[in-house]
Amino acid sequence: MELDDEGNPIVRGSGIAHAFARRIHALGPADLTPDVMHWARVGLLDTVGVTLAGSREPAVMRTAQALDLHDGPALWFGQRRRVGVLDAALLNGTASHALDFDDCNNTMGGHPSAPVLSALLPLAEQLGSRGEDFVLAYVAGFETECKLGLAVNFHHYTKGWHPTATLGTFGAAAACARLMGLNAAQIATALALAASFASGIKANFGTMTKPLHVGHSARNGLLAARLAASGVTASAERVFEHEHGFLDVFNGAGTYDAERALAAWAAPLDILKPGIAIKQYPCCGSTHPAIDALLQLVREHALRAQDITGIEAWIHRRRLQHTNRPEPRTALDAKFSLQYVLARAVLDGCVAVPQFEGQAHADPRVHALLPRIRVAAYDETQFAPDNHFGGAVRVTLADGRTLQAQVEQALGRTSDHPLPAALLQAKFRLCAASVLTDDGVDRTAACIESIHTLPDLRELTGAILNTTRA
């Protein structure tokens, strides 16, 4: 019997799940280059921050009410309590996306870190994992979901699936299997189980179900890895390529390319390029380029709502489908209203968390401005055909002048166009301070900065638990 370096039997199974599993299993410490470590710290810092900020949102607390919670080894963010590992993945995953403030990735077409880290953190607590092993598992999960995104997008996204939920389940499964030290055959089984657990549709955007998608994918990915470790079987040989498998059922024949994804594995790692997109605004990322463009005009020209007779905005048609909401009816609905966020940009000179709390969406000033805002999909005269992330605005003033601005992509959208470190730190501190003491914010940031040298991830979660305000 052929064994790997750790003495595990090498199973050279056929099929896409096995091909991914061998790549996941082959990742090692040498892949944690300084650049990879930098971006892993960025993703972890941002995700921990937004999870803390979202931890006491109604979507999380109402989800908790539906569970039979019991004490366990894993931190429930925002509470001075540890619960079961699967419950922590569900609750923290929901919290991580409750504000729609978590990071994005262009290849995945969704939010890569939230489902992976929400599954990994409670597992790492249970196992007492080393920081380096934790980061390697994070990178493996990130790469898995993003390369699957390369195989299925943009048809998968356009069809109506929420890739954060569908693909994030695979990312969480891969990451947890890697942290648990499963062999390649077991990782393939975890991916096959994840294929039956994957779900999440865009029709539920603008409701509490959208953040629940992330909790669901984190929990299901972790569960898939644990089931694989316990010996539960699945069709790893054909779960992707079967006529009733993931690719044909979720996408359809002729709309995916798995070989493309496998060939691109770690060449480079997706966490490096296109990288992690850090959000500046706590709302749907599809609206961000237009916000950037409008805020540029607001700041350069000191625009006031009373001076404006009309605002026109253009984003990609795929992104307009779920953000063209001229009359948002709830705070969550407002996060997906391009018209609402543009009105806020003019009225407040920013787009921030308080604008999506309570009855802020019903602000009479906003509703007076909304009828003056028109949104549309841009065409090839405005942006290159392969640019899915641009945004343009034109403002017409009462004196007859027009002002225009456009951005090729929102600031922070790729590693080539990163959010400045000072803004990332400011965002983390603002988010974390909503739950932690000042000392806790500092201690948590310090643990994340030294994540690769932590002997036990419980140092990080303990710092959070012990400094959480009642």
- pLDDT value at position 13? 65
Q: Is the pLDDT of residue 9 over 90?
A: no
- Round the average pLDDT of the chain to a whole number and report it: 96
Closest CA to 169 of 189, 187, 144, 147: 144
Closest CA to 169 of 223, 226, 99: 223
Cross-strand bridge partners of residue 201: 161
Q: pLDDT tier at 11 (50, 70, 90 boundaries)? A: very low
- pLDDT value at position 109? 95
Q: Is the pLDDT of residue 1 over 50?
A: no
Mean pLDDT within 7-23: 76
Calculate the alpha carbon distances from 85 to 98, 120, 125, 218, 438 in Å: 20, 10, 9, 11, 28
Order of strands, sheet of 308-315, starting from the edge strand that comes earlier in the sequence: 373-377, 308-315, 391-397, 402-407
Phi, psi of 313 (to 5 degrees): -140, 145
Instruction: Tell how strand 71-75 and strand 82-83 pair up.
Output: antiparallel
C-alpha to C-alpha distance for 165 and 439, rounded to whole angstroms: 34
- pLDDT value at position 40? 98
Q: Is the pLDDT of residue 8 over 80?
A: no
- pLDDT value at position 211? 98
- Give the three-class secondary structure for 278: coil
- pLDDT value at position 5? 56
Q: Is the pLDDT of residue 7 over 60?
A: no
- pLDDT value at position 14? 78
- pLDDT value at position 96? 98
- pLDDT value at position 10? 45
Q: Which stretch of 5-9, 243-247, 299-303, 357-361 has the lowest confidence by average pLDDT?
A: 5-9
Mean pLDDT within 288-304: 97
Q: What is 335-397 written as a DSSP string? A: TT-HHHHHHHHHHHSS--GGGGSTTGGG-HHHHHHGGGEEEEE--TTTS-TT--S-EEEEEEE
Copy the structure tokens of residue 118: 């929400």
Per residue in 181-228, pLDDT tens? Answer: 999 999 999 999 999 999 999 999 999 999 999 999 999 999 999 999
Per residue in 317-366, pLDDT tens? Answer: 999 999 999 999 999 999 999 999 999 999 999 999 999 999 999 999 99
Q: Is the pLDDT of residue 451 over 60?
A: yes
> Cβ distance 74 to 128 under 8 Å?
no
Domains of the chain: 16-275 (1.10.4100.10), 285-407 (3.30.1330.120)
Q: Is the pLDDT of residue 12 over 80?
A: no
Q: Is the pLDDT of residue 44 over 70?
A: yes
Q: Is the pLDDT of residue 120 over 50?
A: yes
Mean pLDDT within 285-296: 97
Mean pLDDT within 124-135: 98
Q: Is the pLDDT of residue 308 over 70?
A: yes
Q: Is the pLDDT of residue 427 over 60?
A: yes
Non-local CB neighbours of 25 within 8 Å, separated by 6+ positions:
4, 178, 182, 183, 184, 187
For residue 233, count other CB atoms closer than 10 A to its CB: 10
> Cβ distance 396 to 309 under 8 Å?
yes
Calculate the alpha carbon distances from 263 to 16, 126, 147, 157, 266 in Å: 12, 35, 9, 22, 9
Cross-strand bridge partners of residue 313: 375, 393
Residue with tokens 């409750």: 98
Entry pTM: 0.93
Long-range contacts of 285-288 (CB under 8 A, 24+ apart): 285/100, 285/104, 285/410, 286/315, 286/316, 286/319, 286/320, 286/322, 286/323, 286/338, 287/315, 287/319, 287/323, 287/336, 287/337, 287/338, 287/341, 287/342, 288/391, 288/410, 288/413
- Going by the DSSP 8-state scheme, the letter that residue 201 receives in this structure is B
